[in-house]
Each structure stands twice: as C-alpha cells, then as structure tokens.
C-alpha cells in the first residue's frame, strides 16, 4: 500500500494476469496477439502504456448496458481501494460536447495526455455501436465475396 510503483506492478503483471487473452495473430509477423481486458484498459492491448492494472492514472471509455457511454478515470485512491479506485463520468450529450469532455479530462492537470487520441477514437467507436444498437444507424451490409 505504499502504492506499488507503476513500473514495478507492470513487471509483475505483464507475463501473467487473469485478464490476459492470447489470440492467434493473422499477420506475417505475429503468431499470437496479446490482449488485456481489465477495466481501465483503453485499447485492450497488453502494453504498459494502456494497462489498466499497472498505471495509477488511466482513462477508459466504455458502453453501458443501456447503450450509453461512460468515461472512467482512476482516482488517487486506486492504490488502496477497489471501490473508490475508479470514477465514472456519463457521456450522454451530443458528440461534440463529449469530445470536449474527454479532451479536457485527459489533458487537464496533465492527467494522461498520451491517451487523448486513443480515448477519442474509442469514443467514436462506442458512439457508433450505441447508435447501431438503438437502431438509429444502419450498418452497411458487407457485399458478398469481400471479406
């Protein structure tokens, strides 16, 4: 609880943790891709930068059950508490407004400016999926023969 430092936690956790998913990679370079599905991981990638376990400050944008989006940030108490470790901000406004919220949350006080672009990108994806789920947006059907 001396709040284990980020780099140390990453070293302990990078090779085995319960959130790691290894999938077959389909590129010429990789035989398997490592994903990490913990809360707080923005891109689900298993790297130090995006890890929701190792970092004391994380940003995540997720969709909730009722097709809305939430922005979760790690609080200062994440080093001691499970419950108080994360705060959620509901993103219910229109796209431009939430974009501003995400940008400000990421960059104010130098919270996690390196995640700003990834957070915005994820919000776009979440927003689109929410609209599809609500039926507002139709997904273009994939033409036959193209995969």
Partner 1 sequence: MAARPLVTVFSLSGEKSGETTLPAVMTAPMRPDIVQFVHTNMSKNNRQAYSVSPWAGKQVSASSWGTGRAVARIPRVGGGGTSRSGQGAFGNMCRGGRMFAPTKTWRKWHRKINSTQKRYAVASALAASAVPALVMARGHKVDDVPEIPLVMDTSIESAKKTSAAKDILASVGALADVDRASDSKKIRAGKGKARNRRYVLRRGPLIVYKSNDGVEQAFRNLPGVELCCVDRLNLLQLAPGGHMGRFCVWSQAALDALNDIYGKDGKNVPEDLMANADLARIINSDEIQSVLNPAKRANKKYLRKKNPLTSLKALAKLDPYAAAARESEQRAEAARQGNKAATLAKKRGVAKAKKQYKQAGKDFFEKISKQGDVCADGFNIGL
* Six token digits for residue 137: 């947006």
Cα separation, 132 vs 57, in Å, equals 31
Cα separation, 34 vs 23, in Å, equals 6
Binding mask 35-74 for partner 1 (x = CB under 8 A): ---xx-------------xx--------------------
Q: Does 6 bind partner 1 (CB under 8 A)?
A: yes
Name the residue nearer to partner 1 (CB basis): 54 or 102.
54
| Minimum distance, C-beta of residue 42 to partner 1, in the bound complex (Å) | 16
Name the residue nearer to partner 1 (CB basis): 79 or 129.
79
User: Where is 32: in which H helix or E strand?
Assistant: strand 32-36
Name the residue nearer to partner 1 (CB basis): 80 or 124.
80
Cα separation, 122 vs 16, in Å, equals 26
């Amino acid at each position: 609880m001396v709040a284990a430092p980020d780099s140390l936690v990453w070293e302990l956790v990078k090779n085995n943790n319960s959130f790691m998913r290894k999938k077959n990679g389909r590129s010429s370079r990789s035989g398997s891709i490592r994903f990490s599905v913990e809360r707080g991981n923005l891109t689900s990638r298993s790297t130090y930068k995006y890890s929701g376990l190792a970092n004391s400050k994380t940003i995540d944008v997720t969709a909730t059950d009722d097709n809305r989006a939430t922005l979760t940030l790690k609080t200062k108490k994440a080093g001691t508490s499970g419950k108080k470790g994360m705060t959620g901000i509901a993103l219910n406004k229109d796209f431009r407004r939430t974009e501003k919220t995400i940008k400000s949350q990421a960059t104010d006080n130098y919270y996690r400016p390196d995640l700003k672009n990834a957070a915005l990108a994820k919000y776009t994806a979440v927003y689109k999926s929410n609209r599809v789920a609500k039926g507002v947006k139709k997904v273009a059907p994939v033409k036959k023969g193209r995969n």
